[in-house]
Structures are given as structure tokens and as C-alpha cells.
Structure 1
Amino acid sequence: MSGTAGAPDATADPAGFRPRIPAAQWNDWRWHMRKRINTTDKARRWIRLTPEEEKAIAGSAGKYRWSVTPYYASLMDPDDPSCPVRLQAVPAPAELTEFPGSDVDPVGDMYYRRTNRVVHKYPDRVILLVTEACPVYCRHCTRKFHTTDLSGTYFRDDEGGSFEEDLRYIAEHPEIRDVLLTGGDPLSYQDGKLEELVSGLRAIPSVEIIRIGSRFPVLLPQRITDDLCAMLRRYHPVWLNTHFNHPKEITAESAAAVDRLLRHGIPVGNQTVLLRGINDDVATMRTLMTELLRIRVRPYYLYHCDNVTGVSHFMTSVEKGWEIMEGLQGHITGFAVPQYVLTTMIGKIPLARPYVTPTDEGLLLRNYRGEELVVDAAAYPLTDPVPEADAP
């Protein structure tokens, strides 16, 4: 982007009322963080708020944090409240309604927390809740409780405290070979502060892989600087998983951010959440997955939206998820098809419909067109044969 920004072109800003931002500011991620939109007055510079949105913004005050970077706001349709970017970023009345079965922590982060920040749910890996800060507080966040305004954090102590206890726990559990930095968004930290943590992890011999979960490539790609990437490269292997939910989020800026990560040897994967009214149709999801491959991002998970308090209105049925997976499998290249999962207290559970069913005649196979074929059990046995010496 050159010249001035804020409304990148005439089609992105048909009303022509958005602020024009000098390129030096627009390309500086710190400027966007300082200028985040968190009031109705600021929002009106970017979109025409509906009465419902204004009511939800007022109702969420003191309950759920709300902020949007100018970059992400520039992707919103200023006149369409059903814009898929706008729905992810602007409070809606439904998030103030409690739905049946909702929970502030359905995935068990607090249950599995072992230190102030370490959540040890799986045997060989942990997550590290680095911060509760985010550039944009996504309305569908699984950790919405962790980013609330009123005592809604998982932290036992202040997040600005020492990481010594957390690093010691990881070092004292050599079975932990994989650490995922999450939050909040760990890239909210300045490079120096982030490097302190990453270097501390790399100094632990049993830690093989460091992963970063960050939505900055989507919400504020200017954050992905050469300096940041060069710092992370010193601590390889480092992986980054991000979170594109709609093709509209794939821009020249986000593609450039991904390219910078890849050129520094940092693989990029994507975890999409299935969201009602945003991406819950086959055409949108196919476009998203193929566009991710175009910018060299590997689709990883399609999450079924968790029944989180304040988030439930985004949930679809599992049947809708199956419909979308059926519309992906076989219709686009195999490594563009994510794994459809539900995150629970007992881990991530694959939700895909089976393509193989054991029968008396053999294995009943079904392809992406719904065509069926039975293969003989003698050719493709379901179980290993019992050795003669062990036979009864």
C-alpha cells in the first residue's frame, strides 16, 4: 500500500467518509494498537453503526472487552451490518443472551492449569497463556472469559509477573516437548519481551517445538515485521498457527505477512472456526481454503464453534459442519481440507462422518460423490490375523 491508507480504494469505501491515514502511520503496527477503535464515536469514523450495534456496545461495557484495529476496520463494509468481518469484531445483542449449556470454559483451560500460565491438557504438550491482550477482541473467542473487563481472567497472578514458575514447571516435566504460546495474543508483546520468553523455552532441553497462536496476520499484519521474524528464526523450530475465517480477510497485507514468516522458515497453519452467518456455507469455505493455499497457508483445523458464554449465537449444528466437510472432501485438493473437530474437556474430538463402514461382506466405502463400493475383507482385512501359535 502506498500513499495514504484507511480506505485502500474506492470499492472498499463507497461512502468516502473514512479517515485517510499517512502510509508511515498505516504501516506501523504500534500506531494501529494506539488507535484501536473502542467507542461508538471512533467506530462511526469507519462504519455506520446500527441501533442494535450501538445497544450491544453499550451493553457489553464492563462485561466484554471490545476493540478493533483501524486495519481490520478497513475491511468492514461500512453499510452492511451482516459483513463477515464486522460480525466478528463489533458487539451484537445476542452475545449478551445466555444460551442453554453455555459455559465460560467448556474446553477446560482452568481445570488443566498447573501454574499461573501453563495449561497441561495433553501428555507431551502444554499451552502457555502469555497475555490477555489482543489487537481485536473477536466476538467468537473461546477464551472470551479470559478477556472480560470484570475479573474474567484465568491468571492467578498478574500477567506482567515473572515467567519463572511457568518455565520451571515445563523444565521439571521432560515429557513436554511442544509448547504453544497463546492468550490473548502473544504477539501483543514487544519483540524484546517476547524474546525473553521464547529464549527461556529454547533453553529447556526437552522442549523440541515452540508454536505461536496468533491472529495478528489477519487482524494487524503490519505486526509481522522482518525484525520479529528474524528474532523468531533464532529459536527454530518455531511454528505459527493463525485464524482466517473468511476470504475477505485474505488481503495483500496479510499475504505479505505470511510471506515474511515463510521466508524466515516459520511454517504457517490456519485454524478456522465454523461461524453462523460468516462462513457456514460450502462456497465460502471452499474459497477460503483454496485462497489460503494460494498464500501458502496450510488449513489445519475447522473448529466447531464452542458453546461459550457470550459466543453461542455463532454456533451451527454439527450437521451443518458435516455438510461443509462433504462439500470440501474430494472437491478441492486433499491438503486444503482441514480436520473438523470439537474441543472438549477431554480433548479435540474429530467430527467427520465416516467414509468407511465395516460390514459382513467387507468394507463399505463411500466417496465424495456419495458413490459406494464394497471391498472384500480378504483383500483389505479389518483386523490382523491371529498367528497360528496363538490360535486356540
Structure 2
Amino acid sequence: MSRRRTLRTPQDLLDAGLISDARAVDEVARAYAVALTPAVADLIDPADPHDPIARQYVPSAEELVTTAEERADPIGDAAYSPVKGLVHRYPDRVLLTPLLVCPVYCRFCFRRARVGDAEATMTEAEMDSALAYVAERPQIREVILTGGDPLMLGETRLGALLARIRAIPHVDLIRIHSRVPVSDPKRITAALARLLGDGEKPVWLAVHVNHARELSPAACAGLGLLARAGVPLLSQTVLLKGVNDTVETLEELFRALVRNRVRPYYLHHPDLAPGTGHFRPTIAKGQALMRTLRGRLSGIAQPTYVLDIPGGAGKVPVGPGYWDGEGATVTDPQGGEHPYLPG
């Protein structure tokens, strides 16, 4: 049955048959934002207690368990924010967070302590300050719109923002990180696709998708609109225990993405956000998965497995190694070792 209203409260989830006791998640809902769009809710099988879509979006009491290493700002945004709404961690690119609302709220979100606040949308003066910061620094070549979800801005506001960024001479490209194509695909219209595809400076869209079932017919149709409009498409996936931490699940996802003209870009190890320990596999598990996928998938379907170092030191690849310089051997995707003596 189609659910036409975004689910935002424990009672909504109970009425939809997605939880059995609203009181069990009341405290979670008070601490962290809750929202499931009809598009997401329709993907969930309420009869499956291990449904991988539900695990990503439906709150659980496990989120109330915070471990010692977890932190509200796990990747150190605040330490690298010279003006409100902007993060400048790497020399050549900045993050810009025009708003902090999303169509859905993922239970593992690394900004979960901040997202959901409609009052945090950047004012015109704050945006002026952020863009002036970019304009004054010619080393900045890329502006990444994130949040929240930038595609929640609406076409008029988004178009005006893209035009302002494109007008900065030294900015070569814009990247948008979004969950909208899978969580609220009706927002991907032909007009939006043209808006993103037009202009001399490209807009790259990185779609957050963690499971092949999220690529519904509506989602695939939206991705097709974007691809045909000339928007380069990447994907970002978070490796999540109980959602996609098997070779078969990741292989199905990455194959589905390339069929839809989306290049798998990053497989993220989960960040140390509060209350997310039940989602984190070990890095060794992730490396083993990537090693197996190397022998099963084309190179264009292989993302880079990365860890965002806590505190703001940046992302680094943490995938398996194949070359042993000391032993002068190389390991094949099946685990066999071979001698290799470079000239």
C-alpha cells in the first residue's frame, strides 16, 4: 500500500506498521530527527525484521547507546569552518551547507546532531559571506553543496546559487551531494535536470545510495533524466552492518548503479557519530569485502573504500593492499601470491 505522507513521529511509524511500540523510540525521536518519505516507506517490508531499508531509516533504541569514541562532530567540520555554512578542510575545495534539512533522516548520519533544523538555513547575508570567502581565494577550484540536502532548495533558489558560484572565475566545478534521487525521486524533474546540466561549468551529482532496492523504478527514471541532461553522476555508499555488509549485496548495488550510468565513487566506513555503533563493521571486514569484489566487478564498478579520520584530518583510502615491496610479491583477487620483480 502506498503511503503518501512523510512519516515524522513514532506514532506515524506505528500507524504505518513499521514499529511495534511507539514508546520504544520516543526518546530517540526527541534526540534525532525522523523522516521517511512515501518513496522510502513503500520500499520497506514491515514483515521482515531485518529489512535493510528499514534499518537505514526507522529509529531504534540502539541509537541511545553512545560509546566513548563517538562524537557529535566526528569529522571535525567545526574546526575548519571559517564562516558560517562553509567548511574549508582541503586547499582546493570547500563544503557549503545552504540548509540542514533532508527529505529523510538516515539513522547513521554523521551530522545527525545537527540535521533537521529548518532554522539553520543560511541567510542571504551568511551566503554572501561564504561566497565572498571563496571568491577571495583563487586556490579554491571546487564548491561542494551538501547539508542537509541541497536539492531541497527548490529550482529557483538552487539555480540562483549555482549561478553565483559559476560566476567565480577560479571555480572549475560544483559538486552536489544528495539523497533525493532515491529518497524523494519525484523532485527529479526534467526542469531540474536541465538546470544542473546547463552552464559552462559542470555540476557533478553524488548520489547517496546504500542498497540496490533503493534504486526503485522512479529513482532510476530520475537518474536517467539527469544522465540524459549531461549531469555526471557518482555514488556514495556507507558500509553498514546489517544493510550491505556482504559481497553479494554490494555487488548487486554497484552493478545496478553502473547500469543507471552512476559511477561508484566512495564506499565510506561509518563515521563515529553518536549512537551509531550498531552500524559499524570492522575495517578488516570492509577490506575483505573490497578484496573479493576486485575479482568480481569491472573497474568502473569499484568504489574507493575510505575512512574520514576523526577530528578533521581528512579522508584516506583504507582498502586492501596487493603489493608487498619487501617480499617482492603481488596478491591476486583470489588471494594467491605471485613473485614480481620490477625493473
- Common fold by TM > 0.5: yes
Shift in Å, 1:48: 4.1
Aligned equivalent of 2:152, options 184, 188, 195: 188
- Asked if the contact 1:63–1:148 (Cα under 8 Å) also holds between the matched residues in 2, the reply is no
- Asked if the contact 1:112–1:119 (Cα under 8 Å) also holds between the matched residues in 2, the reply is yes
What's the TM-score once normalised by structure 2's chain length? 0.94
- Asked if the contact 1:50–1:81 (Cα under 8 Å) also holds between the matched residues in 2, the reply is no
Task: For 2:176 and 2:334, locate their aligned partners in 1 and report how far apart those are by CA, in whole Å.
Answer: 37
Partner of 1:350: 317
Q: Which runs of 4+ in 1 moved over 6 A?
A: none
What's the TM-score once normalised by structure 1's chain length? 0.83
Partner of 2:20: 50
Partner of 2:210: 245
- Asked if the contact 2:37–2:183 (Cα under 8 Å) also holds between the matched residues in 1, the reply is yes
Structure 1, unmatched stretches of 5+, are 1-6, 8-17, 22-34, 380-392
Residue deviations 1:232-286, cap 9 Å, x none?
Answer: 2233411000111011111111111111111111011111100011111111111
Classify 1:48/1:173 alpha carbon distance in 2 versus 1 (closer, same or farther; 3 Å): closer
Partner of 2:195: 231
Query: Do residues 39 (structure 1) and 9 (structure 2) align?
Result: yes
Q: SS of 2:338's equivalent? A: strand
Shift in Å, 1:118: 1.1
Partner of 2:133: 169
Which deviates more, 326-335 or 117-126?
326-335
Which deviates more, 299-308 or 56-65?
56-65
Query: Do residues 114 (structure 1) and 82 (structure 2) align?
Result: yes
Classify 1:56/1:131 alpha carbon distance in 2 versus 1 (closer, same or farther; 3 Å): farther
Residue deviations 1:12-50, cap 9 Å, x none?
Answer: xxxxxx55x6xxxxxxxxxxxxx3111233324433422
Classify 1:56/1:200 alpha carbon distance in 2 versus 1 (closer, same or farther; 3 Å): farther
Partner of 1:280: 245
Residue deviations 1:308-334, cap 9 Å, x none?
Answer: 112222111111101110120021111
Partner of 2:62: 94
Classify 1:376/1:186 alpha carbon distance in 2 versus 1 (closer, same or farther; 3 Å): same
Aligned equivalent of 2:259, options 294, 298, 304: 294
Alignment of 1:1-392 (within 5 A): 7=1, 19=3, 35-51=5-21, 54-147=22-115, 159-162=122-125, 163-235=127-199, 236-344=201-309, 345-359=312-326, 363-377=328-342, 379=343
Task: For 1:65 and 1:148, locate their aligned partners in 2 and report how far apart those are by CA, in whole Å.
Answer: 6
Task: For 2:109 and 2:162, locate their aligned partners in 1 and report how far apart those are by CA, in whole Å.
Answer: 25
Corresponding letter in the other structure for 1:320: K
Task: For 1:160 and 1:45, locate their aligned partners in 2 and report how far apart those are by CA, in whole Å.
Answer: 37
Task: For 1:86 and 1:124, locate their aligned partners in 2 and report how far apart those are by CA, in whole Å.
Answer: 38
The percent identity for this pair of structures is 38
Structure 2, unmatched stretches of 5+, are none
- Asked if the contact 2:101–2:147 (Cα under 8 Å) also holds between the matched residues in 1, the reply is yes
Q: SS of 2:31's equivalent? A: coil
Task: For 2:15 and 2:167, locate their aligned partners in 1 and report how far apart those are by CA, in whole Å.
Answer: 47
- How many pairs are equivalent? 339
- Give the alignment's Cα RMSD to 1 decimal: 1.7
Classify 1:276/1:59 alpha carbon distance in 2 versus 1 (closer, same or farther; 3 Å): same
Partner of 1:32: none
Residue deviations 1:47-71, cap 9 Å, x none?
Answer: 34223xx234301233111111111
Classify 1:129/1:56 alpha carbon distance in 2 versus 1 (closer, same or farther; 3 Å): farther
Task: For 1:61 and 1:85, locate their aligned partners in 2 and report how far apart those are by CA, in whole Å.
Answer: 18
Q: SS of 1:146's equivalent? A: coil
Corresponding letter in the other structure for 2:196: L
Task: For 1:200 and 1:164, locate their aligned partners in 2 and report how far apart those are by CA, in whole Å.
Answer: 10
Q: Who wins on radius of gyration, i.e. which is larger?
A: 1
Corresponding letter in the other structure for 1:349: V
Residue deviations 1:186-224, cap 9 Å, x none?
Answer: 111111111121111011001110110000011011111
